[in-house]
Structure 1
Amino acid sequence: MSGPRTLPGVLQTPGFAHYSLAWSPFHTTRIALASSANFGLVGNGRLHLVSVAPGPGGLPALSLDKQYETQDGLYDVAWSEIHENQLVTGSGDGSIRLWDVMLNDLPIRAWQEHTREVFSVDWSNIKKDTFASSSWDGMVKLWTPEHPRSLSTLHAHLSCVYQALFSPHQPDILATCSTDGTVKIFDLRAPAYAQGPGTNNFTHPISAAALTVPASTTEVLTLDWNKYRPFVLASAGVDKMVKVWDCRMIKIAETGNVGGVCETQLLGHEYAVRKVQWSPHRADVLATASYDMTCRVWNTSPAAGRAQLMYIHDPHTEFVVGCSWSIYEEGVLASCGWDSKLNVFHV
Structure 2
Amino acid sequence: MNGPHAPPAVIQTPGFAHYSLAWSPFHTTRIAVASSANFGLVGNGRLHLMSLNPLPAGVPVLGIDKFGSYETQDGLYDVAWSELHENQLVTASGDGSLRLWDVMVNDLPINAWHEHTREVYSVDWSNVKKDTFASASWDGTVKLWLPDRPRSILTLHAHQACVYQALFSPHQPDVLASCSSDGTLRIFDLRSPSYVSPAPGVNNFTTPLSSAALTVPASPGELLTLDWNKYRPFLLASAGVDKVIKIWDCRMVKMGPEGGTIGGLCETSLLGHEYAVRKIQWCPHRAGLIASASYDMTCRVWDTTPAPGRNQLVYIHDPHTEFVVGCGWSLYEEGVLASCGWDQRLNVFRI
Report the residue type matching 2:66 in the other structure: L
Q: Work out whether residues 222 and 235 of structure 1, in 8 Å CA contact, stay in contact via their aligned partners in 2.
A: yes
Distance in 1, Cα, partners of 2:255 & 2:207: 25
1:240 aligns with 2:243: yes
In the alignment, residue 114 of structure 1 is paired with which amino acid?
H
Give the 5 Å matches for 1:276-295: 276-295=280-299
Query: Residue 4 of structure 2 corresponds to which residue in structure 1?
Result: none
8 Å CA contact 2:154, 2:205 repeated in 1: no
SS, match of residue 300 in structure 2: strand
Q: Determine the C-alpha separation between the residues in 2 that align with 1:203 and 1:176.
A: 18
After the TM superposition, which of the residue ranges 90-99 and 298-307 deviates more from structure 2?
298-307
Give, in whole Å, the separation in 2 of the partners of 1:328 and 1:337: 23
Contact 2:274/2:296 (CA < 8 Å) preserved in 1? yes
1:328 matched to 2:329? The reply is no
Partner of 1:180: 182
**Aligned residue number for residue 4 of structure 1:** none
Residue correspondence of structure 1 range 138-177 to structure 2 within 5 A = 138-177=140-179
SS at the partner of 1:258? Answer: strand
SS where residue 263 of structure 2 aligns? Answer: coil
Counterparts of 1:52 and 1:123, CA distance in 2: 23
SS in 2 for 1:38: helix
2:346 counterpart of 1:339: no
For normalisation by structure 1, the TM-score amounts to 0.95
Q: Work out whether residues 241 and 265 of structure 1, in 8 Å CA contact, stay in contact via their aligned partners in 2.
A: yes
Match of 1:223 in 2: 226
Is the 8 Å Cα contact of residues 36 and 43 (structure 2) preserved in structure 1? yes
Q: Please list, as runs of the form range in 1=range in 2, the aligned pairs for 1:1-347 lying within 5 A after superposition.
A: 9-54=9-54, 58-196=60-198, 201=203, 203-207=205-209, 208-255=211-258, 256-347=260-351
CA contact (8 A) 2:8 2:349 kept: no
SS of equivalent to 1:260: strand
> Which stretch shows the higher mean deviation, 67-76 or 8-17?
8-17
Gaps of 5+ in 1: 1-6
> Which string of whole-angstrom CA distances, capped at 9 and with x for unpartnered residues, describes residues 32-87 of structure 1?
00000000000000000000013896123101100100000000000000000000
Q: Given that residues 152 and 205 in structure 1 are in contact (C-alpha distance below 8 angstroms), is that contact kept between their aligned partners in structure 2?
A: no
8 A Cα contact 2:167 2:176, kept in partner: yes
Q: Which runs of 5+ in 2 are unaligned?
A: 1-6
Contact 2:324 2:341 in 1 (8 A): yes
Aligned residues of 2:168 and 2:175 also touching (Cα < 8 A)? yes
Q: 1:141-173 deviations in whole A, cap 9, x for unaligned?
A: 000001000001000001100000000000000
- Contact residue 195 and residue 204 of structure 2 kept, 8 A: no
- How many residues align? The count is 340
What is the letter of the counterpart of residue 288 of structure 2? Answer: D
SS in 1 for 2:39: helix
Change (3 A) 1:186 1:61: same
Q: Which amino acid aligns with 1:242?
A: I
CA distance in 2, matches of 1:97, 1:138: 20
Q: Whole-Å Cα distance in 1 between the matches of residues 205 and 312 of structure 2?
A: 47
Secondary structure of the structure 2 residue equivalent to 1:115? coil
Q: Once superposed, which parts of structure 1, at least 4 consecutive aligned residues long, lie more than 6 Å away?
A: none
